[in-house]
Amino acid sequence: MPAKKKPSDKPLTGAALIKETCRRIRVARSYWDAHNNRACRGEREKALALYETLTEAEKDKIPQVLRVWLRYRSEKYFGDDRTPPGG
């Protein structure tokens, strides 16, 4: 049985925050590619929350492909004007 992860006491900053944001976006994209919309929506929301905490300089360090997917392409499918899950 794998060990349980301990929640981090301090929030991510700097390179660790950028790395985690990229990881979350990539996970959301992989769920999207696998047609797993519910999981994709959850990961996308987590990634977006992390992305919004970044400064402008840090946002520029996120690869453009990931930024485009997160902000524009996925907004088309998960935006506020879409029918909510189960609705």
Tell me the pLDDT tens digit for each residue of 25-71.
999 999 999 998 889 889 999 999 999 999 999 999 999 999 998 88
Q: What is the pLDDT of residue 25?
A: 94
pLDDT over threshold 90, residue 76: no
The whole-angstrom distance between residue 12's C-alpha and the CA centroid of its chain comes to: 14
Q: What is the pLDDT of residue 11?
A: 76
Structure pTM?
A: 0.77
DSSP 19-80: HHHHHHHHHHHHHHHTT-HHHHHHHHHHHHHHHHHS-HHHHTTS-HHHHHIIIIIHHHHHST
- Angle subtended at Cα 42 by Cα 39 and Cα 46, rounded to the nearest 5 degrees: 140
